[in-house]
């Protein structure tokens, strides 16, 4: 029989991704069983399935898991942010932006290493941009996870896509993790710089002008997006579709890009437009946040003094708390 799915139009049917009720055996993090259950959470201001992936994923599992949703003060959940591994255009020092370029061999290795670092941190749902380098990073990282669940991209872009990607095994569904792709998490669009060599562009336009395009908050490159414009779409999506999962006690991974993640971190850590200009994210390095009592707690901030990359998997995690 096909898994029960309450008539919702998406390919991963039935009760999806229910974590174990036991605590995850991480050396650095302990999560009470109450925080590992999936709960229904209505995303504000939306009733459309196609516009609201967070809502219909929650609905699809409500019939088999009818726990009371924890209050925000009781809920504790994890947020993992990963910038994609090195891409072929990163390697060639080209402006990539929204061009869809895959990972290099090094990028693949970075994604796998990222997976090892987060292998004992629970993950219930994954969000990525629509670009292949972010999707590859998410998929490759999950090959290292101790849960051994299979990440499956949800296709609800058309009725046919929904029908053709339907899973008919409830057992298989429970051994899967839904992956939601969203263009709002894409890298910022670099306009007329896309595909150009960064060094040659600096020689052509001047280093100061190119640095202004790359690192200013509100000045876009020709026919492209500024960080402010990228932030508007990325943060709005985070608030509407990702944060509700965290508030409901689910554990989330986001695989995206330097500028979309800088935008989200700006929101999480309440950075100013000046502070975010100096924020650099390494490829393939997981950043860990705890959501608790309505606050995001950084386990080693990318703008702090903590050594990059260590806080997501070592015992020092609990000693690096920032509000």
How many alpha carbons fall within 13 Å on the CB side of residue 270? 5
Q: Could you tell me which of 298, 182, 285 has the C-alpha nearest to residue 237?
A: 182
Residue 122 pLDDT more than 60?
yes
What is the chain's mean pLDDT, rounded? 77
* Residue 298 confidence (pLDDT): 87
Give one DSSP letter per residue of 76-92, joined into a string.
EEEEEEEEPPPBHHHHT
Which tens digits make up the pLDDT trace of 56-102?
343 333 222 333 344 544 578 999 999 999 999 999 999 999 999 99
Residues within the annotated binding site for substrate? 83-90, 96-97, 133, 187-190, 198, 214-215, 258-259
Residue 146 pLDDT more than 50?
yes
Domains of the chain: 68-319 (3.40.50.1240)
The answer to which of 31-40, 168-177, 188-197, 225-234 has the lowest mean pLDDT is 31-40
* Residue 52 confidence (pLDDT): 45
Which tens digits make up the pLDDT trace of 13-58?
333 332 332 323 333 333 333 332 322 232 233 333 334 444 334 3
Residue with tokens 């053709």: 164
Phi and psi at 305, nearest 5°, equal -100, -5
Residue with tokens 């990028």: 107
Would you state the structure tokens that stand for residue 212, as one six-digit string?
């202004």
Residue 240: exposure state from Cβ atoms within 10 A (0-12, 13-18, ≥19): middle
Residue 144 pLDDT more than 90?
yes
Stretch 194-211: mean pLDDT: 95
Residues within the annotated binding site? 83-90, 96-97, 133, 187-190, 198, 214-215, 258-259
* Residue 75 confidence (pLDDT): 72
Query: Residue 137 in contact with residue 185, Cβ under 8 Å?
Result: no
Catalytic positions, please?
A: 84, 187
Which tens digits make up the pLDDT trace of 207-244?
999 999 998 999 999 999 999 999 999 999 999 999 99
Distance separating alpha carbons of residues 118 and 312, to the nearest angstrom: 6
Stretch 183-189: mean pLDDT: 98
Query: Residue 273 in contact with residue 78, Cβ under 8 Å?
Result: no
Percent of the chain with pLDDT over 90: 63
């Amino acid at each position: 029989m096909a898994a029960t799915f309450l008539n919702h139009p998406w390919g991963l049917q039935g009760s999806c991704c229910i974590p174990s009720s036991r605590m995850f055996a991480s050396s650095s993090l302990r999560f009470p069983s109450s925080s590992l259950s999936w709960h229904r959470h209505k995303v504000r201001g939306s009733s459309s399935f196609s516009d609201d992936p967070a809502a219909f994923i929650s609905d699809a599992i409500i019939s088999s898991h009818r726990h009371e949703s924890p209050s925000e003060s009781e809920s504790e959940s994890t947020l993992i942010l990963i910038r994609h591994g090195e891409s072929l255009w990163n390697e060639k020092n080209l402006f990539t932006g929204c061009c869809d370029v895959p990972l290099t061999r090094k990028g693949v290795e970075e994604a796998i290493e990222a997976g090892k670092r987060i292998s004992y941190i629970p993950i219930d749902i994954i969000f990525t941009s629509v670009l292949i380098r972010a999707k590859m990073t998410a998929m490759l990282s999950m090959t290292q996870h101790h849960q051994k669940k299979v990440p499956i991209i949800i296709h609800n872009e058309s009725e046919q896509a929904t029908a053709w990607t339907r899973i008919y095994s409830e057992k298989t569904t429970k051994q899967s993790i839904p992956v939601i792709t969203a263009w709002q998490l894409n890298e910022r669009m670099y306009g007329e710089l896309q595909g150009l060599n960064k060094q040659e562009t600096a020689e052509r336009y001047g280093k100061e002008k190119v640095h202004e395009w790359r690192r200013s908050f509100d000045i876009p490159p020709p026919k492209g997006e500024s960080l402010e414009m990228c932030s508007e779409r990325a943060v709005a999506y985070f608030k509407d579709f990702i944060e509700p999962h965290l508030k409901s006690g689910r554990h989330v991974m986001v695989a995206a890009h330097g500028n979309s993640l800088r935008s989200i971190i700006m929101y999480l850590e309440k950075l100013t437009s000046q502070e975010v200009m100096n924020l650099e994210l390494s490829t393939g390095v997981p950043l860990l946040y705890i959501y608790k009592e309505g606050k995001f707690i950084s386990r080693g901030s990318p703008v702090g003094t903590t050594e990059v990359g260590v806080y997501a998997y070592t015992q020092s995690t609990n000693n690096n708390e920032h509000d």
